[in-house]
């Protein structure tokens, strides 16, 4: 079995996967959303201290599996440096004490492999990854070949939901709050710009839209003066602009890429409004849409464990004394490293 640890942001999570069957045997996640909510976003120092309490608590429950472990896996990039450190410190200790190999896992590859926790792997695949840290389209040809085709030039999709929610004083994380409010709103009330609408660039950009939302909040008299209906209408209008932006750029990619299977992964892929839009788009382009079970969309160690199973087969091990944190570097193009 492999024990995997995830602590790249505000979720402390550990999983156990079985090598022979590729099955998830144990999985637990302690989320810190409530603790960060009053700040409207993740406070890294607080997140790190909460991991230091939560990870050992979860690890205690996994002790019965210790004598069956063949490797330890851990997210080492990308993420918040001081939160990655918590998982890495624990993984190094376990690998050294149990004298078993250590597998470093790229968090975004983990998100891609979240597709295969409950079903067989389908490759090649085009993947739209929409999370709090990233917005990218990746061509996944094989375990070794994952190429970034498009990326955000500034904010990510999840981040834009979080910032929009913060501007309206809704709390954190913004995604589920905005999605729920939007159900009561009129998506045509606020005229918001669809990013890069007239640009031929195959890339994403969310910061201009965020600024447009800020101006609408101000025009309503600020978040204190906004009515519940104003907030619902702005949520719906914002979500519509994000959807149109994603669809417009995806269409350009679909026109160029022959791969038939398309997937959406990452925290923001839990959004049903966006999922529904992709269902229609995929039908139009004769693509097969793959989505992640809702419980594995946001950060979790089950996806890290799923990737680690293939990495174990390929012997992607690292000396515990050599493992390094690669924190905030955002890769714009090329192979996902």
Q: Which residues bind ligand KG4 (CB under 6 A)?
A: 9, 131-133, 158-159, 161-162, 173-176, 179, 266-268, 270-271, 298-299
Q: Which is nearer to ligand KG4, 100 or 297 (CB)?
A: 297
Number of residues that bind Zn ion (CB under 5 A): 2
| Min dist. Cβ of residue 174 to ligand KG4 (A) | 5
Q: Which is nearer to Zn ion, 159 or 299 (CB)?
A: 299
| Min dist. Cβ of residue 216 to Zn ion (A) | 29
Q: Which does 268 bind (CB under 5 to 8 A by kind): ligand KG4, Zn ion, none?
A: ligand KG4
As a whole number of angstroms, the distance between CA 18 and CA 20 comes to 6
Query: By CB under 5 A, is residue 11 in contact with Zn ion?
Result: no
| Min dist. Cβ of residue 80 to ligand KG4 (A) | 10
Q: Which does 195 bind (CB under 5 to 8 A by kind): ligand KG4, Zn ion, none?
A: none
As a whole number of angstroms, the distance between CA 168 and CA 40 comes to 10
Burial (CB count within 10 angstroms: exposed 0-12, middle 13-18, buried 19+), residue 53: exposed
Q: Which is nearer to ligand KG4, 152 or 271 (CB)?
A: 271
Q: Which does 320 bind (CB under 5 to 8 A by kind): Zn ion, ligand KG4, none?
A: none
| Min dist. Cβ of residue 267 to ligand KG4 (A) | 2
Strand 2-6: give its sheet, edge to edge: 24-31, 11-17, 2-6, 71-77, 102-106
Q: Specify whether the CB–CB gap between 48 and 39 falls below 8 A.
A: no
Cβ within 8 Å of residue 166, ≥6 positions away = 40, 41, 172, 174
Element (H, E) at 30: strand 24-31
| Min dist. Cβ of residue 173 to Zn ion (A) | 12
| Min dist. Cβ of residue 281 to Zn ion (A) | 23
Rg (CA), the chain: 20
Q: Which is nearer to ligand KG4, 47 or 100 (CB)?
A: 47
As a whole number of angstroms, the distance between CA 144 and CA 39 comes to 39
| Min dist. Cβ of residue 106 to Zn ion (A) | 11
Q: Which is nearer to ligand KG4, 71 or 243 (CB)?
A: 243
Q: HSE (CB half, 13 Å, CA atoms) of 198? A: 1
Residue with tokens 């990870």: 55
Element (H, E) at 106: strand 102-106
Rule CB under 5 A: choose which of 83, 131, 152, 205 binds Zn ion. 131
Q: Specify whether the CB–CB gap between 332 and 138 falls below 8 A.
A: no
The interface with Zn ion within residues 260-299 (CB under 5 A) comprises 299
Binding residues for Zn ion, per CB under 5 A? 131, 299
């Amino acid at each position: 079995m492999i024990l995997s640890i995830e602590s790249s942001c505000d979720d402390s999570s550990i999983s156990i996967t079985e090598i022979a069957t590729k099955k998830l045997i144990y999985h637990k996640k302690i989320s810190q959303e409530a603790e960060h909510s009053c700040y409207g976003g993740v406070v890294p120092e607080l997140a790190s201290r909460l991991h230091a309490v939560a990870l050992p608590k979860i690890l205690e429950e996994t002790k019965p599996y210790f004598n069956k472990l063949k490797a330890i896996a851990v997210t080492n990039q990308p993420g918040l440096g001081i939160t990655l450190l918590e998982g890495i410190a624990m993984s190094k200790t376990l690998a050294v004490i149990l004298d078993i190999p250590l597998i470093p896992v790229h968090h975004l590859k983990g998100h891609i492999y979240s597709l295969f926790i409950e079903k067989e792997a389908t490759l090649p695949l085009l993947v739209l990854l929409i999370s709090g840290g990233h917005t990218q389209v990746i061509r996944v040809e094989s375990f070794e070949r994952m190429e970034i085709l498009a990326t955000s030039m500034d904010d990510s999709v999840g981040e834009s939901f979080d910032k929009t929610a913060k501007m309206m004083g809704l709390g954190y994380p913004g995604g589920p709050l905005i999605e729920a409010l939007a159900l009561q709103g009129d998506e045509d009330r606020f005229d918001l710009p669809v990013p890069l609408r007239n640009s031929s660039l195959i890339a994403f950009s969310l910061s201009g839209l965020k600024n447009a939302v800020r101006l609408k909040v101000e025009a309503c008299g600020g978040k204190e003066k906004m009515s519940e209906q104003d907030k619902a209408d702005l949520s719906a209008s914002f979500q519509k602009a994000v959807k149109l932006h994603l669809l417009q750029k995806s269409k350009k990619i679909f026109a160029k890429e022959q791969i038939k299977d398309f997937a959406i992964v990452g925290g923001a892929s839990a959004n049903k409004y966006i999922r529904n839009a992709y269902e229609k788009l995929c039908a139009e382009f004769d693509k097969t849409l793959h989505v992640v079970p809702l419980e594995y969309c946001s950060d979790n160690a089950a996806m890290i464990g799923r990737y680690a199973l293939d990495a174990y087969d390929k012997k992607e091990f690292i000396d515990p004394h050599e493992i390094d944190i690669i924190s905030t570097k955002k890769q714009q193009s090329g192979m996902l490293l």
